[in-house]
Structure 1
Amino acid sequence: MNKVIRIGTRDSELALWQATTVQNALENLGHKTELLPVKSTGDLNLDQPLYEMGITGIFTKTLDVAMLTNKIDIAVHSMKDVPTALPKGIVEAAVLKRATSKDILLHKGLNFLNSKGTIATGSLRRKAQWLNKYPHHAVVDLRGNVNTRMKKLEESDWNGAIFAAAGLERISLTPENSIDLDWMLPAPAQGAMLVVAIQEDEFCRKALQALNHEHSEICVHVEREFLKELEGGCTAPIGALATIEGDMLHFKGALFSLDGSQKVEVERDLPLADASSIGKICAQEVLQNGGAALMQQIKELLN
């Protein structure tokens, strides 16, 4: 059987870049493919912060429906946008080699850092970590695809805006007036691309196995397990990063209050062979050290 693999994707420049990367990789392996872009609910509504929409997987749901109704065979996502629980019948088929997980600040000069300033981001995680470090700053909401957000920054009186470094690098938009935020914990799975398929579609699942990057898969699963145990998603400021050096895995995770004034963090080094449950163990430690009360406070404030 040599069927055409129908690849679903959001229609932003970054999403299309990611889907085309998967398309090229599959075609290099001898598969026939077709790209089918769609617009997600998260892309259509840019007036509301994500956490106010109250929808898990707002950027992935449209593609999930397209898969389950046999309009597409596989879907390509930024893995940080994917809920930790996939819909019934859909499975992870490949985690591609991860790009940088860093956040970066696009700015109009850095003199504001030690005085008053305004930073833009649509992420509760970025907002909380920024306010934790710069409590004297204001943080405003910023939504839209990468190009839209960059344009909004340019036309505003804000001092800067926070972006995922990988997204800008992938479409060659990283400007000179940017700095790496090495101190900021990324979203779980930030910088990773995930391809999902229908569980019963052995042809597509086998085709995608060749694209899977094992170390990237291990790291993002540890981070997402941490997120799942904390009951995060888009509705809590949670950062996590797992990295592998040799036969060791290093993990750091944290939960922040919405205003950044409180932080509960955890850090571990352990043999790679023992990494399977470390995300859950670290999340339980955070919950026991004040994270459970903090999560309850966050839920009350957002509801």
Structure 2
Amino acid sequence: MNKTIVIGSRGSDLALWQANHVKARLEAIGLQSEIKIIKTQGDNFFNLSFSKLEGKGFFTKELEDELLQGHIDLAVHSHKDLPTESPEGLTIAAVSEREDPTELLIILKDCVDLSLQFSVRYNGIVGTSSNRRKAQFRSLRPDIEFEELRGNVPTRIQKLRDGDYHAIILAKAGVHRLQLDLSEFHVEEIDPIEMVPAPAQGVLALQTRSNNFELIEALQQIHNKEVAETISVERKVLNMFDGGCHMPLGVYCKKEDGQFEVWTSKATDDEDFPERLFLRAKTSEGLAEHIVDHYTKEKNTVKSLFISRELSEESFLRRALEKFNLDIEDRSLIRTFPIINTFDSFILKQVDWIFFNSKNGVENFFRLEPVIPKKVKIGVMGRGSENELRHFNRVPDFVGESGDIREVAESLLPKVQNQTVLFPQAKDSLRTIQVQLADKINSIDLPVYETVKEKEINQSSADILVFTSPSNVEAYLSNDNVIFMNQKVVAIGKSTGNKLEEFGYTNYVIPYSPDEIGLSEAVYGLL
């Protein structure tokens, strides 16, 4: 192409960053371009909630009109702002790479409480205008209050600085693109598996006229086909639910080891407890339809659930199960006892990391009131262990999110390789992480508790059985009178599943993450 391409963009700092990013990508393939700033309806409605604007064209209509009238050649959009269908005469010719879709929770430092999940003070005020964020955040922190948050990214941060809120939630992508300094705040990342992002969050859409064949062909040089394939699943789910971003809907799809992994969170409004689903599939074909079918079809006859763990009244999992109208039988089949009352604190001066496999490990280790040097980092297996760690006012440096020990070990290894790691654990622990890391680390085992099975273990007649540790499996199945009566079985992680297989049971489900969110997704998938 010989002509200069006119790129249309909104005038905010973030929109201009996005337009200049595309301009640089075009120059890299030999295409000259210039940027034209266009004001949109969304820029005018300062007092209207984003939940009523996003996904409905308020940030895109004027750009699309300029395209149709031939005043610009290319519009650059945040893909999540676009309606699921382009106007007649326009097409999405290319999509960008995907910026990290993680959410950032930005907290005033004097409003931090590390003992609470997400670290915002109790009854704190959080700024966000996203119903999706409100519903998911509230499901984990029902004490939090929400206030509407408008303006561009720097404006929102200034409102936090001014004390209008105790914390705000922003997409990490926007903060990263603008290279904003947040050092004056306490910042925590909320993983997309924990708070499911908006469909296509972190992706740019390049829109042009459908008959501009020369430009469409040229844009294929910067089109990311892999991203297009995954966000097509997300956007199709959004389309089939017929909702813009006013709907508290999060969908996140990624491709891992040749398989598509999709997390979905859907609520009816921002105060509704979200229903969460995780699915794997070898192909994206029919995947969106399968997700929507699961939410819309009448559920089967599952009425009851047994879980080998006591659930508090306020726990995420109990509230999720109660929404599914399940009768809950929650009882641990084991008891734990501390086995040491003190240990040589000199050990802690020799280690670089402490890694906890379980909540019990955290509880029994910190019962010893250890003095941990500042240089020592802490890793945990699962968000249940993370939340237990928070009770001791500590936030982990690493959280193993997968229920597969091998995947956790692969993620942990770059951080701990050739270092000394202390493992507070159960007596006779399976040492699963240590085995996976083998000679790549210097490991120190510290048995701090032991498990003993209950004397009388009665068989459960519940429709679904959820086992939360290998010890609970062994306690349940070592009773010769216990069998599975066509019940559906969930194992919280791979080691728990391996213990089931030792007893000859192979038909079980493992959640993606070994925590209450993962368990709720697995149970919902069985309904």
Q: Distance in 1 between matches of 2:274 and 2:281?
A: 23
Q: 1:259 to 1:195 in 2, by over 3 A?
A: closer
Q: 1:242 to 1:173 in 2, by over 3 A?
A: same
Identical columns (%): 32
CA-CA distance at 1:69 after TM superposition: 0.8
- 2:134·2:271 contact (CA, 8 Å) conserved in 1? yes
> Match for residue 163 of structure 1?
170
User: 1:47-196 counterparts in 2 under 5 A?
Assistant: 47-52=47-52, 56-109=56-109, 110-111=112-113, 113=120, 115-173=122-180, 175-176=182-183, 177-182=186-191, 183-196=194-207
> Match for residue 254 of structure 1?
265
> Match for residue 289 of structure 2?
280
Q: Distance in 2 between matches of 1:237 and 1:31?
A: 40
Q: 1:141 to 1:289 in 2, by over 3 A?
A: farther
Task: Give 3-state SS (helix, strand or coil) of 2:286's partner.
Answer: helix
State the structure with bigger RCO (CA 8 A, min sep 6), 1 or 2.
1
Q: 1:220 to 1:54 in 2, by over 3 A?
A: closer
CA-CA distance at 1:52 after TM superposition: 4.2
Task: Give 3-state SS (helix, strand or coil) of 2:179's partner.
Answer: coil
Q: 1:21 to 1:62 in 2, by over 3 A?
A: same
- 1:118-175 Cα deviation digits (max 9, x unpaired): 0000111111111111111110000111111111111124110000000100110151
Q: Distance in 1 between matches of 2:13 and 2:53?
A: 23
Q: Distance in 2 between matches of 1:15 and 1:249?
A: 30
How many residues get paired? 289
Gap regions ≥5 residues in structure 1: 295-303
Task: Give 3-state SS (helix, strand or coil) of 2:245's partner.
Answer: helix
- 2:55·2:83 contact (CA, 8 Å) conserved in 1? no
Q: Distance in 1 between matches of 2:55 and 2:249?
A: 17
- 1:128·1:257 contact (CA, 8 Å) conserved in 2? no
Query: Could you tell me which amino acid in structure 2 is paired with residue 172 of structure 1?
Result: Q
Task: Give 3-state SS (helix, strand or coil) of 2:169's partner.
Answer: strand
Q: Distance in 2 between matches of 1:250 and 1:220?
A: 12
RMSD: 1.8
With 203-212 and 253-262 compared, the bigger mean Cα shift is at: 253-262
Task: Give 3-state SS (helix, strand or coil) of 1:45's partner.
Answer: coil
CA-CA distance at 1:277 after TM superposition: 2.4
Query: Could you tell me which amino acid in structure 2 is paired with residue 50 of structure 1?
Result: F
> Match for residue 22 of structure 2?
22
Q: Distance in 2 between matches of 1:217 and 1:157?
A: 38
Q: Distance in 1 between matches of 2:214 and 2:198?
A: 32
Q: Distance in 1 between matches of 2:130 and 2:238?
A: 15
Q: Distance in 2 between matches of 1:58 and 1:166?
A: 21
Q: Distance in 2 between matches of 1:113 and 1:144?
A: 22
Q: Distance in 2 between matches of 1:55 and 1:31?
A: 30
Task: Give 3-state SS (helix, strand or coil) of 1:173's partner.
Answer: coil
CA-CA distance at 1:289 after TM superposition: 5.5
1:225 to 236, 246, 261: 236
Query: Could you tell me which amino acid in structure 2 is paired with residue 285 of structure 1?
Result: H
- 1:89-122 Cα deviation digits (max 9, x unpaired): 1101111111101111011132263621100001
Q: 1:231 to 1:168 in 2, by over 3 A?
A: same
- 2:54·2:244 contact (CA, 8 Å) conserved in 1? no
Query: Could you tell me which amino acid in structure 1 is paired with residue 94 of structure 2?
Result: A
Q: Distance in 2 between matches of 1:174 and 1:222?
A: 34
The TM-score normalised by the length of structure 2 is 0.53
Query: Could you tell me which amino acid in structure 1 is paired with residue 9 of structure 2?
Result: T
- 1:254·1:286 contact (CA, 8 Å) conserved in 2? no
Q: Distance in 2 between matches of 1:50 and 1:161?
A: 14
> Match for residue 299 of structure 1?
none
Q: Distance in 1 between matches of 2:221 and 2:237?
A: 27
Q: Distance in 1 between matches of 2:30 and 2:54?
A: 41
Task: Give 3-state SS (helix, strand or coil) of 2:91's partner.
Answer: strand
With 47-56 and 36-45 compared, the bigger mean Cα shift is at: 47-56
1:207 to 218, 223, 244: 218
Gap regions ≥5 residues in structure 2: 114-118, 300-322, 324-527
Q: 1:34 to 1:84 in 2, by over 3 A?
A: same
- 1:113·1:134 contact (CA, 8 Å) conserved in 2? no
Query: Could you tell me which amino acid in structure 2 is paired with residue 102 of structure 1?
Result: T
CA-CA distance at 1:49 after TM superposition: 0.8
Query: Could you tell me which amino acid in structure 1 is paired with residue 68 of structure 2?
Result: L
Q: 1:53 to 1:93 in 2, by over 3 A?
A: closer
Q: Distance in 2 between matches of 1:203 and 1:35?
A: 19
Higher helix share: 1
- 1:265·1:286 contact (CA, 8 Å) conserved in 2? no
- 1:104·1:165 contact (CA, 8 Å) conserved in 2? yes
Q: 1:202 to 1:221 in 2, by over 3 A?
A: same
> For the pair shown, which has the larger CA radius of gyration, 1 or 2?
2
Q: 1:116 to 1:55 in 2, by over 3 A?
A: closer
Q: 1:120 to 1:270 in 2, by over 3 A?
A: same
Query: Could you tell me which amino acid in structure 2 is paired with residue 167 of structure 1?
Result: G
Q: 1:246 to 1:166 in 2, by over 3 A?
A: same
